A and B are shown apart, each in its own frame.
Chain A
Amino acid sequence: MTSIAPPGYPPARHVLRDLRIAVEHRPDATSSAWLPSSPFLSAESGALHAGVLATLVDLAGGGLAAQAASPDWIATADLSLHLLPRAVAGDVEARSRVLRAGRTTVVLEVELRAHDGDPGLGAATMSFAVLPRRDANPVVDQADTVSRATMAAPGSGFTEPVGDRIGLTVVDAATGVVELPLTDYVRNTLGALQGGMAATVVDAAAQHALRAACGTPVETADLQLTYLALARVGPVVTRTQVLSAWPAFGTAHVELLDAGAGGRLTTLARVVAARPA
């Protein structure tokens, strides 16, 4: 689910190009990724969607974890995101650092910052399983010098809300059922649903269900995702259960199923949605 860019990835038309994320890896085992904010990536309050920020975190953390595990390879095991949501102008930065790089796992911590004078936007953590290297895995160079690359391409960017652009369909808002076709636009290097896009689907499903249950326009503030299997066929569809609902916030449990693979459970999540401050 983690995307280290091998040659040809992402393709010319891909969500990572439209997000216009730039990534910098440094020799001190840290990295940063920057996302230009946009109304098309934001909820009604002006805060960036949690799923979009999870995509930023996934991209920043995945590259750093791959370096930490090199020459072996990695698979994202879990991602947690804890937001202090507010409207942001300009870029959002995800600063990653390695907490542990062991034989079987890599653990990262990610700080989310804005550059508009009020930096704190939240925190994230990620765990990765270390896998034996295969010939098909991209070669990850160690960062001997500061290296910076951008996913943006000429003309890339959003002209419609991100949910519409990726093809997200709300099947039943009140029960948190949403569906996403698995197109090349949202695939990762393995041809499966990109990890940040899985978070985007979970975010949408929980937020719809919790708005109905809470009776207020809550927005996703926390995501806890456990990645169990790759979604390779699609469409992916959500099954949501509201755990608690009050006017100020609610919590939900979301399962992401690969409907085209017999309803295989691919991702398990818990979500908190809170009323904007």
Chain B
Amino acid sequence: MSAFTDPDAGRAVARYLGVTMREVGEPVEGGATVRGESPIGPHLRGPAGTVRSGVLVAMADSVAGLCSGLAVLPGWVVSTNLMLTAGRLDARGPLQLDARVLRAGRNAVVAAVEARDAGRGGARVADGVLTSTVLDPAGGPPVYTRPLVLRAPQPPVDAAPSLPEFFGVHVTGPTRVAVEIAPHLRNPWGILHGGAIGVLVDAAAEHALGPPFDATDVVCHFLRPARIGPVEARAEVLGTRGDGQIVRVAVHDTGADDRLCAVAIVTARPPVDR
């Protein structure tokens, strides 16, 4: 049975991120606007208290993905490319993500997403674009009441597992980290959630570089679905420049003949004086 018959399926990642998503305005064919809000609890921050870029990627993928999907109903979408540039990662929260469709075609949807820090007067935190491919869910699309609201109940702060715990990120080599595809990490298509790949890419870049670098800008191409696992991210430091380092991360499904599932280029910088 398709997970799309259950509108709550594949939402564990968004719930962990604490992202409540609301469709803004009345539904229109070929368009949608979605606002996501998250308090960004301490479990979503790094040791310096800054928001992890993997968290931003995961949130952007969730909010812009929902926005794109709503625009192409009765089809639905799978992410193919996410490009995200972060301005400042020391957000106080809550974080507000606004996604809107720029172009919706027969085969692809392009959505812009921007994240603002409501705790700093709406200062811009990140800016990006998600491109998705349109597919026909075998069991039909998710059945939603429009305008849509998907709430993410906030767990008690002490009860929320850490980012590595929730995603199961573990080190597999000097420049490699991996995750198993646990049921809660699968999206409605049954494959590894794009947000989980974002977290994995962030973790691999950080592991390869070591402190004090924060991954800030990410371009991630989702090439093929990761279905079996373990899924391993392999980082290669390409070089250093005036503001930081450039890292290439390749994501492989080791249980599927080491299939290349995603390639990302990450810009990582030391924390700046804020």
Contact = CB atoms under 8 A, between A and B. Distances in A.
Given A243-B124, A246-B273, A123 B246 contact: yes
Interface string A245-263: 0101101010000000000
B263 A222 contact: no
Nearest to A131: B107
A123 B239 CA distance: 10
A270 B84 CA distance: 8
A83 interface: yes
B131 A272 contact: no
A275 B242 contact: yes
A163 B42 CA distance: 47
A249 B245 CA distance: 13
A82 interface: yes
A226 interface: yes
Contacts of A105: 80, 108, 133
B246 A272 contact: no
A268 interface: yes
Contacts of A265: 102
A109 interface: yes
A109 B127 contact: no
A77 B131 contact: yes
Contact of A78 (B131, B244, B267, B272): B131
Contacts of A277: 240-242
Contacts of B86: 251
B96 to A, nearest CB: 15
The binding surface of chain A is classed by DSSP as: strand
Interface in B102-144: 102-103, 105, 107-108, 110, 112, 124, 127-129, 131, 133
Most buried by B among A77, A80, A244, A248: A244
A83 B241 contact: yes
A274 B242 contact: yes
Given A84-B241, A123-B238, A125-B263, A228 B85 contact: no
Contacts of A222: 85, 217, 267
A253 B243 contact: no
What size tier do the contact residues of chain A reach? 35 or more
Interface residues of B, number: 41
B246 A84 contact: yes
A249 B55 CA distance: 23
B95 to A, nearest CB: 15
A60 to B, nearest CB: 17
B81 interface: yes
A120 interface: yes
A129 interface: yes
B64 to A, nearest CB: 12
9 contacts: A80-B219, A107-B263, A123-B265, A127-B81, A226-B131, A243-B85, A248-B272, A276-B242, A277-B241
Interface of B: 80-81, 83, 85-88, 102-103, 105, 107-108, 110, 112, 124, 127-129, 131, 133, 217, 219, 221, 223-224, 238-244, 246, 248, 260, 263, 265, 267, 269, 272-273
Interface of A: 77-78, 80, 82-85, 99-100, 104-105, 107, 109, 120, 122-123, 125, 127, 129, 221-222, 224, 226, 228-229, 243-244, 246, 248-249, 251, 253, 265, 268, 270, 272, 274-277
